[in-house]
Amino acid sequence: MENQHPPLNLHFIPFLAPGHLIPLCNIATQFAARGHRVTVITTSSYARILRKSSPSLLLHVVDFPGGEELMSAANDLESARNFFHASMLLRDPISRFLEQHRPDCVVADFFFHWVHDVANNLRIARLAFNGFSLFTVAAMESVKSNPALVPDSGPFVIPDLPHRITLCSRPPKGVSAFMERLLETEMKSDGLIVNSFAELDGEEYIQHYEKGKAHKAWHLGPACLAAKGGEERGEKRVVSEEECVSWLNSKQAKSVVYVCFGSMCRFPDKQLYEIACGLEEAAHNFVWVVPEKKGKEKESEEEKLKWLPKGFGQRNAEKGLIIRGWAPQLVILAHTAVGAFLTHCGWNSTLEAVTAGVPMLTWPVLGDQFYNERLVTEVRGVAVEVGATEWRETGYGEREKLVTGDCIQKAVRRLMDGGDEAREIRRRAQEFSDKAKQAVRDGGSSHNNLTALIAHLTRLRDTR
């Protein structure tokens, strides 16, 4: 039916962090694949990446006013704040472009909250994207709407959800206030694009979210299934896919723990030491991604890893592969040798693990990650907790609480040593992997949602 109408003209405005930009651009390619004209508004660094990984997308480049264009290059709170404030200065050049080249719809990351006013003034339809699961958005709204039922400290049950969901503590107040303002603006959009699939969030949470609202959520994921090899994560890798695959090929099926905490978490040396001890004590193979520290690039490999227990490298030469920097995560998770993923529960990593059918060991740090943990542990049963309870405002700096090596090795063994619980978790993980792949095929839930959304946007265009 959509082919009977002129193609839509869509502009996508992703936030300049890999965890936001990569999934939204993967979703943009789905619209382009249906024959619609899709322009991504971004900066020169990301445009170079997208020209290689997403040739079907048109690009409009705006100058970034703050120097370093990659948020993952921030290594402390001050540099992260500077990056965020600089990214907000993109309002003027992006607004001018929208005025001069009006699309039928603009799809903007909710961090760019000002797009709402610009689109409203220009009478352009607007869809929002926040990079969260719908479960997380629903849980955030329940916490916000029931302040009297949320204690200032200690664990509590999130009010008014379909499941009994317990959080370890209240989110940091500053972060909550900031997020609530963004979500309020998001609710004024013409709909929410969700990088997930309906079967994972669950019909009960879709109905819970949409109940009493003139606001629809469109599940179009997993976006990672649209990713191409080579530039999947948006930055230069320090190891090739071939090196990783060759190392993994030498290991037995489901014998490797993959450890990665995303682009925005920088653990202090004391915590890295505990992770090393836990992995060694668990006595399983591992691939461990440790981000490069800013300003330490010229140090020798020995200096960079001086926090490791003495003799760790020699003792684990056969068992372990440490990657200093970015890694081909989708390739690693898809390999049959990988049996578990120790993750910070960022939504992209969580969804990629679900899609690959890899059970998770959950270690949330900040933002939406503690909510995501609850979805995959308490609700869907495809993960086990390591025991992290320190909900931070940022991923930088020293910690008040260390997750000990003993906690880490116990969690690893709980999944990797076999047993009835581990087998059941693996069975459910495979079940959701099958559902994820089915969702994006012809007739699947996400495929049908995309068809319905295109029809909805076409009607909006034709009536405005």
Confirm whether 277 is domain-assigned: yes
Confirm whether 328 is domain-assigned: yes
Q: Is residue 338 very low, low, confident or very high in pLDDT (cuts 50, 70, 90)?
A: very high
| 28 shares a domain with 163 | yes
Q: pLDDT tens digits for 377-389? A: 999 999 999 999 9
Q: Is residue 129 very low, low, confident or very high in pLDDT (cuts 50, 70, 90)?
A: very high
**Helices 173-186/134-145 angle, 10° precision:** 110
The alpha-helical segments, DSSP class H, found in 250-328 are 269-282, 301-304, 312-315
Q: Which helix (H) or strand (E) holds 459?
A: helix 445-463
d(Cα 50, Cα 166) in Å, to the nearest integer?
40
State what percent of residues in the chain have pLDDT above 90: 70
* Position 194 pLDDT exceeds 70: yes
Averaged pLDDT, 89-117: 96
Q: pLDDT tens digits for 45-55? A: 889 889 888 88
| 263 shares a domain with 214 | no
| 118 shares a domain with 84 | yes
Decide if 104 is catalytic.
Answer: no
Provide the pLDDT for residue 74. 66
Please give the structure tokens belonging to residue 156. Answer: 């509590």
Confirm whether 229 is domain-assigned: no
d(Cα 453, Cα 207) in Å, to the nearest integer?
18
Q: Domain range for residue 189?
A: 2-221+440-463
* Most confident stretch, 85-89, 319-323, 388-392: 319-323
Tell me 359's DSSP state: -
| 124 shares a domain with 32 | yes
Residue matched to tokens 């993952």: 72
Q: What is the pTM of this model?
A: 0.93
Provide the pLDDT for residue 230. 43
CB 394 within 8 A of CB 366: yes
More confident residue, 66 or 5: 5
* Position 135 pLDDT exceeds 60: yes
| 265 shares a domain with 130 | no
Confirm whether 226 is domain-assigned: no
In the chain, the number of structural domains is 2
Confirm whether 359 is domain-assigned: yes
* Position 125 pLDDT exceeds 80: yes
Confirm whether 445 is domain-assigned: yes
More confident residue, 72 or 371: 371
Q: Is residue 235 very low, low, confident or very high in pLDDT (cuts 50, 70, 90)?
A: low
Q: pLDDT tens digits for 195-231? A: 999 999 999 999 999 987 878 999 999 999 987 654 4
| 377 shares a domain with 357 | yes
Confirm whether 127 is domain-assigned: yes
Confirm whether 210 is domain-assigned: yes
Averaged pLDDT, 342-368: 97
Least confident of 56-60, 391-395, 413-417: 391-395
| 349 shares a domain with 335 | yes
| 127 shares a domain with 54 | yes
Please give the structure tokens belonging to residue 273. Answer: 């030491």
* Position 1 pLDDT exceeds 50: no
Identify the CATH number of the domain in which residue 398 sits: 3.40.50.2000
Q: How does the average pLDDT of the chain come out, rounded?
A: 91
β-strands 217-219, 256-260 pairing:
unpaired
Q: Is residue 264 very low, low, confident or very high in pLDDT (cuts 50, 70, 90)?
A: confident
Provide the pLDDT for residue 233. 47
Catalytic residue of the set 20, 113, 208, 219: 20
Cα 236 to Cα 46, 84, 240, distances in angstroms? 12, 22, 10
Please give the structure tokens belonging to residue 453. Answer: 């959304």
Provide the pLDDT for residue 386. 97
Q: Is residue 265 very low, low, confident or very high in pLDDT (cuts 50, 70, 90)?
A: confident
| 447 shares a domain with 405 | no
Q: pLDDT tens digits for 291-325? A: 876 656 666 777 778 899 999 999 999 999 999 88
More confident residue, 212 or 369: 369
Provide the pLDDT for residue 295. 58
| 295 shares a domain with 216 | no
d(Cα 436, Cα 98) in Å, to the nearest integer?
35
Decide if 190 is catalytic.
Answer: no
| 416 shares a domain with 459 | no
Provide the pLDDT for residue 232. 45
Catalytic residue of the set 11, 36, 109, 113: 109
| 274 shares a domain with 140 | no
